Amino acid sequence: MTTRILTGITTTGTPHLGNYAGAIRPAIVASRSPEADSFYFLADYHALIKCDDPARIQRSRLEIAATWLALGLDVNKATFYRQSDIPEIPELCWLLTCVAGKGLLNRAHAYKASVDKNVEQGEDPDAGVTMGLFSYPVLMAADILMFNAHKVPVGRDQIQHVEMARDIGQRFNHLFGAGKELFTLPEAVIEEEVATLPGLDGRKMSKSYDNTIPLFGTAKQLKDAIARIVTDSKLPGEPKDADGSHLFTLYQAFASQAQQAEFRAELEGGLAWGEAKNRLYQLLEGELGEARERYNALIAKPADLEDILLAGAAKARKIATPFLGELREAVGLRSFREQVQVAGSEKKKAAKSARIVSFRDDDGSFRFRLLDAAGEQLLLSKAFTDGKGAGQASKALQSGAELDVRVEGLAFSVWLADEAIGASPAFADAAALDAAIVRLHEALAPQE
């Protein structure tokens, strides 16, 4: 069984080395595994919560898209898209907003931090807090649940959000799933080894500390940034404490075991800091030099990037559109057509409450059930690999064409074009079987 891995990147900044080591690189490696079905997206709706500078949003989306592609993300294998190209996401966000507890969201770290700060400063607790900030975790839950992700690689600061997505998904399942898991409950995954990279000053590398090393700056920018890495004042020849030095930690994140051991020995043997910085520069240039060229080529052709992202969105929506249809159905946002058509004779009344319920199976396949007026299952479809196949089969069944029903023992199956597309449960006796077949015909009878 494949594992669906999903993660989003907020498009407010330019990716730096910390993003690369902590998120981008492991994500790209993971996406290559044959068992992985990866969904990576630009969280540009989330970006609007944090940033009201349109030029910066636009620039950041472009840079982040180019970064992932330059670093080798294979868009034929992974699904790579912009959140804002998937209208199903904000729609799902609303469905989830209607079940998410306000108390749950009150506990979100980001919101609480803003409130605490306001209180400390004697301001109104909600001063400057937008509904976007408050509802941030619900939008994130929609991102995740929309695609039934199993694993969500994130930084530590996002674990709580993934847990909230679980909570909200679980509540929705409970309220609307009728015993069935509509949503897969996601799990956060943290890359333990290099989850956070230290910045120039030794604190976590982060734009807000202004201590980052650029990922695709020029070679000179890379060199200058490395020159600013803070070290202790040990002189050349004095032994250095490798483990106590974040320069070494940075080196470790990109070096093989053998390179690490060698660098450690050299530092302990008194290598000068200036020389140590040069080693780090060589290492990073080796890791990033080629990708930087690809990056510059991509940035120079934004229209090509646009096409790639739109193709990614189309791929994502093949899943999102039918799934949102099921969810709308589940909460009661259903077409009037069925009911209007069946208002009429007694027989049609019987058909009225017979219904088809689509769902996704644990293995990700698409199925539907046909339930009779009393809610008894008449038919369980076979497993379809996509929602479209399931949709076509259920449509064909309801088309009013003559049914090909084949009885076997105390059960029946329904055939379409030489293929059994669904089967009944086993009935207690022949009379029950016959009665069920009558109800099957009633349920699927053509309606004027």
Question: Interface residues with ligand TRP (CB under 6 A)?
Answer: 6-8, 10, 43, 46, 140, 143-144, 152, 154-155, 158
Nearer to ligand TRP, 73 or 436 (CB): 73
Nearer to ligand TRP, 86 or 356 (CB): 86
Nearer to ligand TRP, 67 or 424 (CB): 67
- Shortest distance, position 133 Cβ to ligand TRP, whole Å: 12
- Shortest distance, position 147 Cβ to ligand TRP, whole Å: 10
- Shortest distance, position 22 Cβ to ligand TRP, whole Å: 10
DSSP class of residue 235 equals: P
Q: What are phi and psi of 371, to 5 degrees?
A: -110, 140
Please give the helix or strand (H or E) that residue 198 lies within, else none. none
Contact predicate 31/77, CB 8 Å: yes
Nearer to ligand TRP, 162 or 247 (CB): 162
- Shortest distance, position 144 Cβ to ligand TRP, whole Å: 5
| Cβ-proximal residue to ligand TRP, closest one | 8
Nearer to ligand TRP, 44 or 372 (CB): 44
- Shortest distance, position 43 Cβ to ligand TRP, whole Å: 4
The amino acid at 344: G
Contact predicate 17/25, CB 8 Å: no
CA angle 368, 324, 145 (to 5 degrees): 100
Nearer to ligand TRP, 10 or 245 (CB): 10
The per-residue b/e assignment along 433-445, b for 16 or more CB within 10 angstroms, e otherwise, is beebbebbebbbb
- Shortest distance, position 212 Cβ to ligand TRP, whole Å: 16
| Strand 419-423, strand 377-381: pairing | antiparallel
**Any bridge partners for residue 6, and if so which?**
39
Can you tell me whether residue 401 is helix, strand or coil?
coil
- Cα 434 vs. chain centroid, distance in angstroms? 47
DSSP class of residue 371 equals: E
Nearer to ligand TRP, 155 or 214 (CB): 155
Nearer to ligand TRP, 105 or 144 (CB): 144
Contact predicate 62/14, CB 8 Å: no
- Shortest distance, position 282 Cβ to ligand TRP, whole Å: 31
- Shortest distance, position 101 Cβ to ligand TRP, whole Å: 20
Alpha-carbon span 422 to 309, nearest angstrom = 37
> 10 Å Cβ neighbour count for 65?
25
The amino acid at 339: Q
